[in-house]
Chain A
Amino acid sequence: MSKAAAVQPSSALGRWWLKWRFHINILLLLVPLAFMPKYFADASLFRGDSGLGEREIGTVQVGPWSLQLAELRNEAPRPDGPAGYMKSFNAALCKTCIDEVKATYLRIGKPRSLRAAGVIFFGTPYRMGATLPIPERTKADAELWITLEGWDGSMHQASIPLSEASPATIAWLAQQGGKR
């Protein structure tokens, strides 16, 4: 970089740059301003102030117990490096079953045993989350299976259609199918 080059922009691009370069500051400052509503919406979502998740799925009866299920985000699965695509769900156990349920699991397709019940929920019975891998070849009519394990060793299962659990995932799967 020489002084002469900085002083005498010969090209149109150079002149344009000389005239507008300080306006980059304004563009850069607009970035956090533009993302601020999203930031506060996310802060409220993670603090539980705006409900269990972005989209409530409803109450699912699992044997003698029940739980409320929600999509953390009402959107397609997110890529997570080599682990593939992930979809986060939140759940809350019914008030009466909090002390009876030992663990809650989520899986696409019916689990063959308790050991293959899927991903386990982390958190408190009032608000817990699980992140479920969604293979790209998942069928559109797949079912989401919920397994509850009791402290007494009992196990109860229920399922809901994936299309009911996450329409955004179904839409995404349809798109994946189109690509292949």
Chain B
Amino acid sequence: MSKKSRSKLWFLVHSWLTLPIWFFVLIVCVTGTLAVVSQEIVWLATPEARATQPSDDAPLLTYEQVLTAIHKAEPALAVQSISRPDESHFALVASVVYSDGRSPSLYINPYTGAIQGESPSFNFQQFTRALHGWWLVPFTNGYSWGWYLVSFLGLPLLGSLITGLVVYKKFWKGFFKPNLRFNHGARIFWGDFHRLCGVWSIWFIAVISITGLWFLIQAFMFDNQISISTTGNPPVVARADVPIMPDGTPAPQISLDQAVKIAAEKIPGLEASFVSLPSNAYGHIEVGGPGWYPLLFQTADINPYNGVIEGSRMIADRSGLELVTESMRPLHTGDFGGLWVKLIWFFFGLVLSMMVLSGLLIWTKRTALATANALKRSNKPARVPVNTQTVTARSTQPEEANV
């Protein structure tokens, strides 16, 4: 095969990849883009989710102070966990259970401990993630087939990137000589737009497609009982460590602040971003937060009766392979470096959505036309040898550079 026809083949592959499902791909891109900033959208739409500082010098409350404040306001409430989002403009989120069994999340002011409101029954964050992540298909036996459906798109996405770079000769020139022609008609404009967006989002498309493919592999491994995990079974508090109380009341436990302090001694530099209370009498207090490697959390399990650390998951506990695979999710979602990283992911998510759209526009304006033309031509003569056809098609097919 000649060099030219080989690149034409690549071009055709690029043109037809995922084309029949273009709208599905577009919606997956758009919902993913929304999911990146879903927390921020909730912040904008829900005043209760914001952290307003009563005065400039008001200090942040500790976890134990927050817990005390919640119990003072609602003595019957059972608190399961308190988490502090890593951006200071968000209220704390406490996962609680009311005495009637309802278990919403509460927005807590981090300075006053006031319960500002309850998360609405429609959880926008979870909904966009479920729509993007598994197309709302329920998980009944292992991973849902919606998860496979969406994560499979990583393959054509990676294919589009590779074939796109192959057919876009000397693509690196596009970085420095951006070419966006506005007054040569729509096809020229969208072609320029598609290439310009493409070269600048090479890194992003690579990240999203590779991490997306990891989700596919992850589901496949889980459903086939293949595990690379080095985490053991979750620890339980030994029966002997749970005191027997002659008066029949619950045994006293260490405070959340003590637990955070103990964890900080084990995890230098730990800024505890969440604390989970024991989930039963044999459970641990779990304290966790990011460490020196911002993509992953480190956690410590503390015996609530004697304050001993009985389990922990540090960066160093992960195997090299786990460091890579556990980094996949934060890399995909852009949730590891605060608002600015999220905004970068959001921006390139929009660009990627526009790539799908502009690709389709180019296709309708060029490939569909060329295909229709070729079909017309081939219908006229009784039977044209295949060779001639190819030549005809090539000569009428606009070269990628002229699109």
Contact = CB atoms under 8 A, between A and B. Distances in A.
Interface of A: 1-4, 6-8, 21-22, 24-25, 28-29, 31-32, 35-36, 38-40, 42-44, 46-49, 51-52, 78-79, 81-82, 92, 95, 99-100, 102-103, 115, 120-128, 149-153
B279 A126 contact: no
Contact of A43 (B13, B126, B131, B140): B126
B247 A3 contact: no
A35 B24 CA distance: 16
12 contacts: A6-B12, A7-B378, A8-B378, A39-B136, A39-B138, A92-B101, A102-B281, A115-B239, A120-B280, A120-B282, A126-B101, A149-B281
B399 to A, nearest CB: 14
B117 to A, nearest CB: 15
Nearest to B21: A24
A26 to B, nearest CB: 8
Contacts of A127: 97, 101, 103
Query: What 9 pairs between A and B have smallest CB-CB spacing?
Result: A124-B78, A25-B23, A152-B248, A21-B20, A35-B136, A28-B24, A32-B136, A127-B101, A48-B102
A28 B281 CA distance: 46
A71 to B, nearest CB: 15
Contacts of B371: 6-7
Interface string B209-249: 00000000000000101000000000000010010111111
B389 interface: yes
B282 A47 contact: no
B24 A25 contact: yes
A78 B126 CA distance: 24
B225 A42 contact: no
B136 A36 contact: yes
B102 A47 contact: yes
Given A2-B390, A32-B135, A47 B249 contact: no
Contacts of A32: 131, 135-137, 146
Interface string B6-29: 000100110010001111100100
Nearest to B78: A124
Nearest to A21: B20
A4 B250 CA distance: 78
A48 B103 contact: yes
Interface in B139-174: 140-142, 146, 149
Nearest to B5: A2
B107 to A, nearest CB: 15
A38 B146 CA distance: 14
Interface in B24-54: 24, 27
Given A47-B121, A152-B248, A78 B101 contact: no
B248 A151 contact: yes
B138 A4 contact: no
A28 B131 CA distance: 12
Given A3-B374, A3-B393, A39-B138, A103 B16 contact: no
B12 A8 contact: no
Contacts of B122: 40
Interface in B58-115: 78, 80, 97-104
B180 interface: no
A108 B296 CA distance: 40
Contact of B251 (A31, A35, A128, A151): A151
B393 A28 contact: no
B291 interface: no
B104 to A, nearest CB: 6
B197 interface: no
Contact of A152 (B98, B146, B225, B246): B246
Contacts of B142: 81
Contacts of B321: none
Given A126-B99, A152-B247, 8 more contacts: A8-B378, A32-B146, A35-B136, A48-B100, A81-B223, A126-B97, A149-B281, A153-B244
A163 B102 CA distance: 28
A17 B115 CA distance: 57
A152 B100 CA distance: 26
Contacts of A40: 122
A115 B240 CA distance: 12
A91 to B, nearest CB: 10
Interface centre among B20, B98, B122 (most CB of A within 10 A): B20
B282 A78 contact: no
